[in-house]
A and B are shown apart, each in its own frame.
Chain A
């Protein structure tokens, strides 16, 4: 019976990632390489974060502290990844499918974001997903009618999409860094990353009724704002070409 739950949770958590990977990224070896590279950057960030968690024994049970250093580290490694890619941009352009394409930079940002999203989704959720094959469940403390497994699946799915938008906004921001626009966009990435992460604490809250719903609503709102930012950035760069269809 719990095979229902297993496939339900798996499709919910990894549906967008699977479809993006198999329908887009896997068609291009260079993008796969880029994705793996980005995935390793996220892994290193989370490795360092877990070292801190392991060393800081008294803070182990304090999720707020763990989120704090984990998010900061992830953002630092996002910046490091940007630095690396920026330096290697010329090379990347040469080996890419369309070396002359002016959209490559956005594609690289998208794929790097996908690498972050995929790794975080695998690392944070696969262990939980394995448990859904077994008959027992944990109910979500803030939403006692839903299982923690399924709520986590929804959050995993949304977070993986957040990572894609954050990466695209962040790359844009780092390129424009001295300007106010760059600072604002960078600040948005950091702030929304914290916002999403801390909103997730509502899931485990027993005092906030329907906390998991609030967490999902916050995720969706942030994702919507980020997506709008991404679209605006794209429009700014490639406005005529991308959005000409509607104008034509």
Chain B
């Protein structure tokens, strides 16, 4: 027996040695690992949305091109026992289609094709595809309790709110890795089509998309298996001496930093968020060129760029809450659970307390840039949406009066229908105080952009978009210039004009090339081409690439350079500047530009446990699950019938060996008296 175990041990030794070897030798001949853009699991107070798969799921590649293909999937699949992975155009990714496919019980995964080439737009797309709800974020907005809310997104199919228990991956050849993945999948899919899905061997893929979080946000936060969705908002003002009791009214100029889509790695949002953000940047630039400094105006201008807005106005609601409630720092003794190094206050855990200088009661008006890229170019003009024509009337008139030529600004209620505000950060301000004058500028009139919060919102006509945004930014800058001085009309100096080249550069940097020369002026970036505009998850002190740029750009435009004699004080890093100064574009700048935490207002930090909690289920509580690295690989499979034949041959061979050995033994025993 000892010898036998010795032998077995020898065998197992051989086994393990070779198991390691094959990882490097045989594996690449069988499997091709592909780069992935997965749909992932998110949670809120009541449940979960997005995709997950509990174990490695696999299936044979199968193409479905049209709505009819999807409806006939169950009848058309050649065998009723194999599992299939369907490759569909992104535009067919709707909850009802997924349900139809799942009901066949033969679906193991979905691959959605967003684009077939590096240039977005092909294959041809439906004119509208929005995975958002029909009334995006309305439950968290100003009109949440209104009986009949206006449906801003009639084309929305609510795909991003579906809990899906199959893996869904996207194909979009935006870089080398994803282009390889696209090519591999299509080559193997076309092979299966040539074989008519019947002539084995066929090509299959398997996915791994394990999500740790389950149930809801409260549960997964307690277990530590999810993080709040959010990031850092940025606010900035050219008034260095802004204080809460200086009595000056405040004009908020706002835009949204983040966007949302089914596949977070691919979230771009050219219309929804980038265009509005670029418009705000252009306004900040235009006003910084005013001959009389805007800091000396009788009203303060505060630029706010909110993050996490796609997730129930996380950034703006938190900002409004923080500046409208008295700040009380409890410097605790003992265990400190505030992860920020050098925090201005450890409970609440904040980087700085400068936001307390913004007195919410002093806010007089909010000007917000929504989607303004004119990508559908329906009316060639802009629309100004207001909550109430009496409180916002004069502001509205000012903007309408400053609109010019091709890109006029019209009152959205001019057709006699008062739709109130579209989804916007302004709603968060008005929710706290309805008497603030507000205006939301957009290129849509009666319904949101057709690709609202969709992965299809990735096409940019640079010439059209930059001239449209530039025109709007100039009009808005003039209006704000007048408004900040309490004027209703007058001559605005010609310097207060948006720089159309800057707008074009900003659009390019924000969409396709984050390593562009404009951003290189601020800090070094390597190999960051297209970056995701999903806000990602919140961490104390964390700063995303977008927030970083917003901070530097606004700090540069609104800050004051310290002069060393006649030339600006140069610096390489912030350590060479004085306290409260920043090193921006090689010079020491003092500016009231700050980051502000942005995560769902329904989530709070528990200073006792050092974990996040759900504190208000009616407010946004979005969290993202932690996950194992998702994977997708393509390989060859044989039919089940083929495998059964192999098994039968094996069993027959084994059984006949046993019979032969037994027979020979008996034979030898009889004849030789041995064995």
Residues of A within 8 A of B (CB): 1-2, 4-5, 7-12, 15-16, 18-20, 23-24, 26, 29, 32-33, 35-36, 39, 98, 101, 103, 107, 122-123, 126-128, 130-131, 134-139, 144-145, 147, 150, 153, 157, 238, 241-242, 244-245
B118 CB within 8 Å of chain A: no
A135 to B57, CA, bound (A): 10
Q: Are B22 and A127 in contact (CB under 8 A)?
A: yes
A12 touches B646 (CB 8 A): yes
* Docked-complex contact A126 and B4, CB < 8 angstroms: no
In this complex, how many residues of chain B approach chain A with their Cβ under 8 Å: the count is 53
Main secondary structure of the interface of B (DSSP, over half): helix
Determine which residue in A4, A7, A241, A242 has the highest number of CB atoms from chain B within 10 A of its CB, and name it: A4
B672 near A18 (CB under 8 angstroms)?
no
Other A-B contacts than A131-B22, A136-B633, A244-B671, 4 sampled, CB-CB below 8 A, are A12-B646, A29-B3, A127-B19, A131-B30
Q: Which of the residues B58, B201, B650, B660 comes within 8 Å of A8, measured between beta carbons?
A: B650
How many angstroms from the CA of A127 to the CA of B670 in the assembled complex? 41
A-B contact pairs, 19 of them (CB 8 A): A1-B640, A5-B638, A8-B645, A8-B649, A8-B651, A11-B651, A11-B654, A12-B646, A18-B654, A20-B661, A26-B4, A36-B7, A98-B674, A103-B672, A127-B18, A136-B633, A138-B30, A150-B646, A245-B670
B237 CB → nearest A CB, Å: 59
A15 engages B22 (CB within 8 Å): no
Q: Chain B contacts of A24 at CB under 8 A? A: 661, 665, 675
A2 touches B4 (CB 8 A): no
User: Are A15 and B654 neighbours in the complex by a CB distance under 8 Å?
Assistant: yes
Q: How far is the CB of B180 from chain A (nearest CB, A)?
A: 18
| Residues in chain A near residue B14, CB distance under 8 A | 122-123, 126
Closest 5 CB pairs of A and B: A136-B635, A11-B650, A8-B646, A127-B18, A15-B654
State the Cβ distance, B15 to closest chain A Cβ, in Å.
Answer: 5
Contact check, B15 vs A11: say whether CB atoms are below 8 A apart. no
Q: Are A32 and B647 in contact (CB under 8 A)?
A: no
Complex Cα distance A103/B675, Å?
Answer: 10
Contact A128 B26 (CB under 8 A): yes
Task: State the CA gap A139–B637 with chains docked (Å).
Answer: 9
Beta-carbon contact of B671 and A245 below 8 Å: yes
Measured between beta carbons, the chain A residues less than 8 angstroms from B21 are 127
Which residues of B are found within 8 Å of A139, using beta-carbon distances? 201, 636
Tell me the complex Cα distance, A100–B394, Å. 120
Given contacts A4-B647, A15-B657, A32-B3, are A137 and B19 in contact (CB under 8 A)?
no
Question: In the docked arrangement, what's the CA distance between A107 and B665, Å?
Answer: 12
Nearest B residue to A243 by beta-carbon distance?
Answer: B671
A5 contacts B636, C-beta separation under 8 Å: no
Min CB–CB distance A95 → chain B (angstroms):
13
* Chain B residue at minimal CB-CB distance from A4: B643
Question: Which residues of B37-59 have CB atoms within 8 Å of chain A's CB atoms?
Answer: 58
| Complex interface: chain B residues within 8 A of A7 (CB) | 647, 650-651
Contact, CB under 8 Å: A136 / B662? no
Would A19 and B640 be within 8 Å (CB), given that A123-B14, A150-B646 are in contact? no
A169 CB, nearest partner CB in chain B, Å:
18
In the complex formed, the residue of A with least CB distance to B667 is A245
B191 at the interface (CB under 8 A from A): no
Binding site for A on B (CB under 8 A): 3-4, 6-7, 10-11, 14-15, 18-19, 21-22, 25-27, 29-31, 58, 201, 204, 206, 633, 635-638, 640, 642-651, 653-654, 656-658, 660-662, 665, 667, 670-672, 674-675
Instruction: Flag if A241 contacts B671 (CB, 8 Å).
Output: yes
Given contacts A8-B648, A126-B14, whether A101 and B637 have CB atoms under 8 Å apart is no
**How far, in angstroms, from A35 to B7 measured CA to CA in the complex?**
9
- Closest Cβ of chain A: how far from B665's Cβ, in Å? 6
Contact B650 A9 (CB under 8 A): yes
Are B29 and A23 closer than 8 Å at their CB atoms?
Answer: no
- Residues in A whose Cβ lies below 8 Å from that of B29: 138
Tell me, in angstroms, the Cα distance from A36 to B58 when the chains sit together.
42
**In contact, A137 and B30 (Cβ under 8 angstroms):** yes
Report yes or no: B672 in contact with A8, Cβ–Cβ below 8 A.
Answer: no
In whole Å, how far is B196's beta carbon from the nearest beta carbon of chain A?
16
Chain B residue numbers with a CB within 8 Å of A4 are 640, 643-644, 646-647
B643–A241 contact, CB under 8 A? no
Query: Nearest A residue to B646 by beta-carbon distance?
Result: A8
| A130 & B201 in contact (Cβ 8 Å cutoff) | no
CA distance A145 to B642 in the complex (A): 9
Least Cβ–Cβ distance between B669 and chain A, in angstroms: 11
- A145 CB contacts on chain B under 8 angstroms: 201
Contacts of B640 in A (CB 8 A): 1, 4
Residues of A within 8 A of B7 (CB): 32, 35-36, 39
The residue of chain B having its C-beta at the shortest distance from the C-beta of A27 within the complex is B675
CA distance A150 to B638 in the complex (A): 12
Considering the complex, give the chain A residue whose CB is closest to the CB of B635: A136
Q: Collect the chain A residues with CB atoms within 8 Å of residue B26's CB.
A: 127-128, 131, 138
A23-B658, A23-B662, A136-B31 are contacts. A122–B11 as well, Cβ < 8 Å?
yes
| B4 contacts across to A, CB distance below 8 A | 26, 32
Contact in complex: B204, A2 (CB < 8 Å): no
CB of A5 within 8 A of CB of B653, answer no
| CB atoms of B643 and A36 under 8 A apart | no
* Chain B residues whose C-beta falls within 8 Å of the C-beta of A153 in the assembled complex: 650
Residue of A nearest to B639 (CB): A1
**What residues of A have a CB within 8 angstroms of the CB of B654 in the complex?**
11-12, 15, 18-19
Are A242 and B10 in contact, CB atoms less than 8 angstroms apart? no
Known contacts A5-B647, A136-B30; A130/B15 CB under 8 A:
yes
A1 touches B643 (CB 8 A): yes
Q: Closest chain A residue to B17 by CB distance? A: A127
Contact in complex: B638, A147 (CB < 8 Å): yes
